[in-house]
Structure 1
Amino acid sequence: MKRILITMLCLILFLAACGNGDDSSKSNSKEDKGTKSYTTDDGSKVKIPKNPKRVLVLTANYGNFKKLGVKPIAITSVFPDSKYLNMDKIKKIDPEDVEAAAKLKPDLIITYKENKNNKKLSKIAPTVPLKVQNMDYKDTHIEIGKLVNQEAKAKKQADKLSKKLAEDGKAIQSHIGEDKTFSIMDIQAKDIYQFGPRFGRGSEAIYEGFGLKEDPEAKEVMPKEKYMKVPTEKFNEYSGDYLLVPTEDGQKPNNNFVNSDIWHNNKAVKNDNVIFYPMDEAIYADLISVEKQAELFKKELMKS
């Protein structure tokens, strides 16, 4: 009889535990399906999933999600593949193709504020427009962490990289001199474009990460958009001690301007302080890309 009572007691405890497990599962399920209010850059409120499962990324921030371990259901097709991010196997769609977005059944859409179809996209799923130029690469990563309920992880990752780049920046300045200035220019056959901080092309690693200085004359005339077309006669005036040139293949371009006297009379060119690097990898400003860009720049600058 005693053995029977013990057996029945164990069975009751087992069933109770199963019941509690079901309640816990239901509770977790409810939590996963819950929503929270998110405030966008312009102050608007958007209700988004607490734990989104099907995120559609229509901005250049795939690397931020990848760093956080979140795999989007698709990303924008307007940016090139980067070897740093292994993007070739992920689905891509036109960021303004509302029908394609709807077919994917997202539960959260990340887009740019400038996307003309944001209102239509918001009818498919909660849509968050980003204005990334208002944030540095660290704040952008933390903000994306908030969207996928991983703010603490994102902050830890951003702080770790920020600390590393600051230390590397000090080592670089110790090697080349604290007063050296830098310019990032896209040297095309007919046009020259210059980029300031927070505009990709490696600017996050150089200016915000390493803390290196912009050319002062270029900085003074740089528009708020942080890029400008440079007249050929102003090229040497806006070029710093070091010239960083993103190109299609990471090699020195072969065009009339690079073969001109203006180019050859440039102080960075004459001092062999020009760094050419691949444009496709330099466009992005997520933590993965910025870290890889910084490794490349540090290697080249420590050789100079």
Structure 2
Amino acid sequence: MGAFLCLLLLLTACGKDDEKSEKKSESEPKKEITLTDAMGEVKIPADPKRILASNLEDSLVALDVTPAAQWAIGTSVHDYLQPYLKDVPTIEWNMPLEQTINADPELIIFSSPSAIEEGKYEEYKKIAPTYVFKDEDAADWRKQLQIMGQIVDKEDKAKEVLADYDKKAEQAAKELKTSIGDESVAVIWVIAKQYYLLESNRYAGNVLYNDLGITQPKMIQDLPPAEASWNPIALEALTELDADHIFLASLPGEDGLQALKDSSVWKGLPAVKNNQVYDMEDPSNWTINGKIASDVTIDNVLKALK
């Protein structure tokens, strides 16, 4: 009995020490950090509350951070993010200086040097500390998320988010292997009167072909690797699209959508003949790199193909 009481006292003392340690850790003030970005060294303020990260909001939201304003082109926003950002004001995609000042940011984040209007970098730095992603880091949403985790002091959260996504993708890949086997899938994005095919390493193509292991049709396999400039494909060229399934990412009113569906080229495609075309009326998650965008894409694919 004496030994038991001693052990109980020891465990109680250890528990109190752990609680004190946790409280001390929570009470410790966050510190300014210095990171190296595409422009050099930048000092990131401790615990910034108002962050502008135009077109990088996906990573912030994945880390449970709400931006001070969200990317927009006129009235167009990233629709797939609106469950999280519906009450967040917009800022024009090119971050006009006046709008940026009015947003009163404590930290500004750009996706690349080319995202900054020429000659304006120093002006943004006067408004708030400014971090500029390297092109290759912003293009890879996993790297983007990890770096964003450093910036907002949520590195552990970033690791957790990545692990959760990998589990989701792995499970989805198994389900799709059962439901469609080696059948191939293609994604066509329609905007205005132009048509784009997603290569294996561009946007949602990464999700389908790399994360989910879905078979690429031969036409996709023969495309060159994705480059920064994304060139449309002629309607007539789609004659070669031998996909078993087609995801059609397009807003319902796009000018080229009806022209595509009325064409003999479209009507002759195997996926169309077999009624294996899936209209994705919100293309926003298909044409951006991001954890939440990839989540939504997986959900779309499973719903259509399971």
Q: Compute the TM-score of the two structures, normalised by the length of structure 1.
A: 0.77
Give the AA of the match of 1:37: T
| Distance in 2, Cα, partners of 1:189 & 1:230 | 13
Cα displacement string for residues 120-158 of structure 1 (whole angstroms, at most 9, x for unaligned residues)? 212222212235665433332222111101011111111
Verify the 8 A CA contact 1:248 1:280 in the aligned structure 2. no
Distance 1:38 1:211, change over 3 A: farther
The structure 2 residue matched to 1:271, chosen from 271, 274, 291, is: 274
| 1:59-74 paired onto structure 2 within 5 Å | 59=55, 61-74=56-69
Query: SS of the counterpart of 1:275?
Result: strand
Letter in 1 for 2:293: S
SS of equivalent residue, structure 1 residue 69? coil
- How many residues of Structure 1 are paired with residues of Structure 2 in the alignment? 271
Q: Is contact 1:67–1:288 with CA below 8 Å preserved after alignment?
A: yes
Separation in 2, partners of 1:44, 1:215: 42
- Seen in structure 2, the aligned counterparts of structure 1 residues 181 and 250 have a Cα distance that, compared at 3 Å, is farther
RMSD: 2.9
Q: Distance in 2 between matches of 1:250 and 1:208?
A: 31
Q: Is the 8 A contact 2:45 2:107 kept in 1?
A: yes
**Structure 1 198/64 Cα, relative in aligned 2: closer, same or farther at 3 Å?**
farther
Give 3-state SS (helix, strand or coil) of 2:248's partner: strand
Structure 1 equivalent of residue 196 of structure 2:
193
Corresponding residue for 2:21?
none
Instruction: State the partner residue of 2:43.
Output: 47
Instruction: Verify: 1:209 aligned to 2:211, yes or no.
Output: yes
Partner of 2:72: 77
C-alpha separation in 2, matches of 1:274 and 1:184: 10
Deviation at 1:90, TM superposition (A): 0.3
Counterpart for residue 58 of structure 1: 54
The amino acid that maps onto 2:150 is: K
Instruction: Using the TM superposition, give the Cα deviation of residue 83 of structure 1 relative to its aligned residue in structure 2, in angstroms.
Output: 4.9
Residues 131 and 217 (structure 1), Cα distance of their counterparts in 2 relative to 1, 3 Å cut: farther
2:121 pairs with 1:124: no
Any unmatched runs of 5+ in structure 2?
A: 1-23
For 1:93, which of 91, 94, 98 is the aligned residue?
A: 91
Taking a change above 3 Å as real, the CA distance of residues 226 and 217 of structure 1, as seen in their structure-2 partners, is: farther
2:238 paired residue number: 235
Deviation at 1:198, TM superposition (A): 5.4
Deviations 1:197-239 (A, max 9, x none): 4543x33432333122333433433342373311223213245
Q: Structure 1 residues 256 and 276, CA, compared in 2 at 3 Å: closer, same or farther?
A: same
Displacement after TM superposition at 1:268 (Å): 1.5
Structure 1, unmatched stretches of 5+, are 1-23
- 1:184 Cα deviation (Å)? 1.5
Per-residue deviation, 1:255: 1.7
Kindly provide the CA deviation profile for residues 236-276 of structure 1, in whole angstroms up to 9, marking residues without a partner as x: 3245332111111499x852331121111111212222121
Question: 1:293 is paired with a residue of what secondary structure?
Answer: helix
Residue 159 in structure 1 maps to residue 163 in structure 2: yes
Match of 2:259, SS?
coil
Q: Secondary structure at the match of 2:294?
A: helix
* 1:285 CA drift (Å): 3.6
Q: Which amino acid letter does the alignment assign opposite residue 235 of structure 2?
A: T
How far residue 67 of structure 1 moved from its aligned partner, in angstroms, is 2.5
Residues 140 and 289 in structure 2, CA contact (< 8 A), matched pair in contact too: no
Residues in 1 aligned to 2:89 and 2:200: alpha-carbon distance in whole angstroms: 30
Conservation of the 8 A alpha-carbon contact between 1:194 and 1:227: no
> Structure 1 counterpart of 2:54, which letter?
L
| 1:13 match | none
Give 2:20's aligned residue: none
Q: Distance in 2 between matches of 1:105 and 1:49?
A: 14
Could you tell me the percent identity over the aligned residues?
A: 21
Whether contact under 8 Å (2:71, 2:78) holds in the other structure is: no
Which residue in 2 is equivalent to 1:150?
Answer: 154
Match of 2:33 in 1: 36
Specify the SS of the correspondent of 1:263. helix
1:195–1:226 CA contact under 8 A, matched in 2: no
Q: Residue 208 of structure 1 aligns to which amino acid in structure 2?
A: N
Residues 284 and 231 of structure 1: is their aligned pair in 2 closer, same or farther, counting only changes over 3 Å? closer
- 1:11 corresponds in structure 2 to none
The letter for the 2-side match of 1:51 is D
The TM-score with structure 2 as length reference comes to 0.77
